[in-house]
Structure 1
Amino acid sequence: MNLESPKVSIEKSSEDVFNFLSNIKNFESLMPESISKFEVLSDDTFLFALKGMPEIILKKKDVIPPNKIVLGAAGGKLDFSLIANIDTISETSSDVQLHFNGDFNPMMAMMIKGPIGKFIETLATSIPKAI
């Protein structure tokens, strides 16, 4: 299953956006209001839970400065990644789009497609306000 957030324009350089998203502590400020738990486990790993959903642990898997950050599931039964692609528009502006890739059975994909789509849209649209 592949989902994309809307592309969001930010009045910050791609380096500024990359540095913000590289610090996993900053993801707390991007979370939707329905978050029930957020905990930094290490410099590259955090745990979060949304109301009515199981806890999810994300780990920074790969970084390509200043254009890409890959977070992946750390443990648990679900295998997926959340990729932030950062495009430089000018020295003071950039675009960000989040991509969610997961390997789920058709029933699971049908159940989580809506909530995950809304979740990554909330993350993406929160970035300009949070930086």
Structure 2
Amino acid sequence: MNLESPKVNVTKSPQEVFNFLEDIKNFKSLMPENISKFEVLDDDKFLFALKGMPEIVLKKKEVIPPNKIVLGAAGGKLDFSLIGNIVETADGNSEVQLEFAGDFNPMMAMMIKGPITKFIETLATNMPKAI
């Protein structure tokens, strides 16, 4: 299952956006209002939970400065990645799009598609004001 957030424009350079996303504690400022838990576990791993959902641990898996950062599930029953793609726009600002990629059975995919789509859209739309 692959989902994409809308592309958002950020009035910062790709390097500034990358630096923000690389520091995982900054993800707290991107989270939706219905977050019930956020905890930094170490330099490249954090845990979060949304009301009514299980806790999820994300770990930094790959970094390609200043254009891409990949977070992946760290343990748990689900294997997925959250990919941040950062592209420089003509005016020196950035365009950011988040991608969610996971391998789920059809029933699970049907259940989580809506909540995950809303989640990555919220992360993306919170980005311009958070950075």
TM-score calculated relative to the size of structure 1: 0.98
Residue 96 of structure 1 is matched in structure 2 by 96
In 1, the alpha carbon distance for the partners of 2:15 and 2:94 equals 9
Which runs of at least 4 in structure 1 moved beyond 4 Å after TM superposition? none
Residue 21 of structure 1 is matched in structure 2 by 21
CA root-mean-square deviation = 0.7
Deviation per CA, 1:68-121, whole angstroms, max 9, x where unpaired?
000000000000000000001146301000000000000000000000000000
Give the conservation status (yes or no) of the 8 Å contact 1:13–1:90. Answer: no
1:1-131 correspondence runs (5 A):
1-90=1-90, 92-131=92-131
TM-score calculated relative to the size of structure 2: 0.98
Give aligned-pair identity as a percent.
79
In 2, the alpha carbon distance for the partners of 1:101 and 1:121 equals 14
In 2, the alpha carbon distance for the partners of 1:46 and 1:113 equals 22
Gaps of 5+ in 1: none
Q: Give the secondary-structure state (helix, strand or coil) at the position aligned to 1:108.
A: helix
What is the total number of aligned residue pairs between the two structures?
A: 131
Larger deviation: 82-91 or 7-16? Answer: 82-91
